[in-house]
Amino acid sequence: MPRTLISSGSHLEPEIGFSRAVRVGQLIVVAGTAPIAAAGGTAAPGDVYGQTMRCLEIIGGAVSEAGGSIANIVRTRVMLTDMSRWRDAARAHGEVFHDVRPACTFVQVSGFIDPTWLVEIEADSVVE
């Protein structure tokens, strides 16, 4: 079965040995996605809602590039450094996935590669 690798262009991809997303058959899997601003650096510093929206924007682009859409996402994993701020992430997630309603898990982590990142999100999609 063909394997399609989707790159975000991150300098970390070859260093770590990962792709932003991978499509195999009908499955598209998106790696943990951080709130990287379009021009580099961290999007929406200190703002969980804004960072979550940026993560979801990047995920949507990766899924689209792999031949899917937000509507094809069946599972998300939202990782936060401070669970007390989960409602900010949930509001963004709810705005994007209001009608899609994928299976979703929120977990707290001790930190990310960049300490200014407050959230990272993974997503799985199934396309026809």
Which H or E run includes 5? strand 3-6
In this structure, are residues 97 and 55 in contact, taking their beta carbons and an 8 Å threshold? no
| CA 55/CA 48 separation, integer angstroms | 10
CATH number for the domain whose boundaries are 3-126 = 3.30.1330.40
Per-residue pLDDT at 13: 87
- The residue type found at 50 is G
- The series of mean pLDDT values per 10 residues for the chain, 128 residues long, is 90 90 98 94 97 98 97 98 98 98 98 97 96
d(CA 78, CA 15): 24
Q: Return the structure tokens found at 105.
A: 């898990």
Identify the pLDDT of residue 26: 97
61 by Cβ neighbours in 10 Å (0-12 / 13-18 / 19+) ranks as middle
